[in-house]
Amino acid sequence: MGTKEKLLDILQENREAALSGERLALRLSVSRNAVWKAIKALEKEGHTISAVRNRGYRLLAPSDALSEWLIRTHLKRPEFFRVCVRKTVESTNTALKELAAKGEPEGLVLLAEEQSAGRGRFLRQFFSPPGSGIYLSLLLRPDKTAAEASLITVAAAAAVAETIEALCGKPARIKWVNDVFVNGKKVCGILTEAAIDLESGGLEYAVLGIGINLTAPEAGFPAELSGTAGAVFESGRAAQTRERLAAEILNRFDDYYTALSDRAYLRTYREKSLLLNQEILINNSEQAIAQQINDDGHLIVRTKTGEIKTLLSGEVSVKPAREHR
Ligand code: BTN
């Protein structure tokens, strides 16, 4: 536990009274300046701390803020993941891509309470209001080609679906290629972005971004999302569970990622597939039957004319029931 985490523990235990910087410094065996820096870091994470001259620091209101430390305590490989929580960022993916371009090593995990410009596939926005979801990005530097690295999204979808089932007790389904559904609604989207090293043709880095709606936002989903978007829990607060869920997703993903070529995650991915054996619409126009997910995570379909096609990516939807037959 670092100074910041120990300080948070002390403040949580002493909610009633303010503690002076001097007293805190003594208890933590650090300088008063180190206490001040740790206070500022906790505020940046979203904790509300009152600082009164001559009296000291006190934690205000039960803190629902995501705790870096709590996430770390649930991680199976804390030495690999460097967890960092921010109150608001434009997009955790964008922030990590900037750091990746500057040479940041793999394993950095960035979570935000809120994203002001969360992004999804096809340049869509990802609605990311405060407190009700998990918005997480992980920086990876896999020694893989771009084609192999596309399995990162597949492995992540399997890890998310398994975690939702194991920790939330809700059956989760995966909609090829990057969405997780609960009760027929999309509760999670995954966006993996990568940079190619033009010299080697390999991957310079990949940023895996996962967004999960844990509870419906207080003001509801925006009108354009209300038909498709849902939340894992119907009601209640997402706080307290977010750290465990985030850590469990990272743990499960890590197991899959370290043996990506073994493709163990494909079993879950296929079992929980929402599309297999369904009539689907490709890019909102072409009708087909989803037949298989191959070992590269591609979707094999049979079109109305009997042609077999392999889809590498794209937009696929289940054909509305009234159009069946
Ligand atoms: C999609 O639905 O098409 C993908 C959504 C991915 C959202 C996550 S939230 C964390 C990370 N930061 C982003 O801006 N996007 C991803």
pLDDT of residue 63: 60
Note the pLDDT tens digit of each residue in 115-128: 999 999 999 999 99
Model confidence at 70, pLDDT cuts 50, 70, 90, reads: confident
Rounded Cα–Cα distance for residues 297 and 312 (Å): 8
| Residue 134 alpha carbon to ligand 1 centre in Å | 10
* Least confident stretch, 44-48, 72-76, 128-132, 172-176: 44-48
| Residue 113 alpha carbon to ligand 1 centre in Å | 13
Mutation choice for ligand 1 from 93, 111, 123, CB with most ligand atoms inside 8 A: 93
Q: Which residues contact 42 (CB under 8 A, 6 or more apart)?
A: 4, 7, 8, 11, 49
Rounded Cα–Cα distance for residues 316 and 178 (Å): 11
Model confidence at 190, pLDDT cuts 50, 70, 90, reads: very high
Indicate the SS3 state at residue 324.
Answer: coil
Give the phi and the psi of residue 254 in degrees, each rounded to 5: -60, -45
Q: What is the mean pLDDT of residues 231-248?
A: 81
Give the phi and the psi of residue 151 in degrees, each rounded to 5: -70, -10
Amino acid at 272: K
186 lines ligand 1 (CB under 6 A): no
Q: What is the mean pLDDT of residues 230-238?
A: 79
Mutation choice for ligand 1 from 115, 126, 152, 245, CB with most ligand atoms inside 8 A: 126
Mutation choice for ligand 1 from 109, 135, 225, 249, CB with most ligand atoms inside 8 A: 135
| Residue 114 alpha carbon to ligand 1 centre in Å | 12
Residue nearest to atom 15 of ligand 1 (CA): 119
User: What is the number of the ligand 1 atom nearest to the C-alpha of 94?
Assistant: 14
pLDDT of residue 113: 93
Rounded Cα–Cα distance for residues 264 and 245 (Å): 21
Amino acid at 211: G
3 lines ligand 1 (CB under 6 A): no
More confident residue, 168 or 64: 168
Q: Is the predicted pLDDT of residue 240 greater than 70, yes or no?
A: no
127 lines ligand 1 (CB under 6 A): no
More confident residue, 229 or 43: 229
Other residues' Cβ atoms within 10 Å of the Cβ of residue 253: 24
pTM as predicted: 0.83
Residue nearest to atom 9 of ligand 1 (CA): 211
pLDDT of residue 34: 95
Q: Is the predicted pLDDT of residue 104 greater than 50, yes or no?
A: yes
Chain position carrying tokens 């054909």: 319
Note the pLDDT tens digit of each residue in 136-147: 999 999 999 988
Note the pLDDT tens digit of each residue in 191-201: 999 999 888 87
Indicate the SS3 state at residue 45.
Answer: coil
In angstroms, what is the C-alpha Rg of the chain? 22
| Angle subtended at Cα 22 by Cα 17 and Cα 28, rounded to the nearest 5 degrees | 90
Note the pLDDT tens digit of each residue in 159-189: 999 999 999 999 999 999 999 999 999 999 9
| Angle subtended at Cα 113 by Cα 236 and Cα 235, rounded to the nearest 5 degrees | 10
- Tell me the two tokens of residue 302: 């049979």
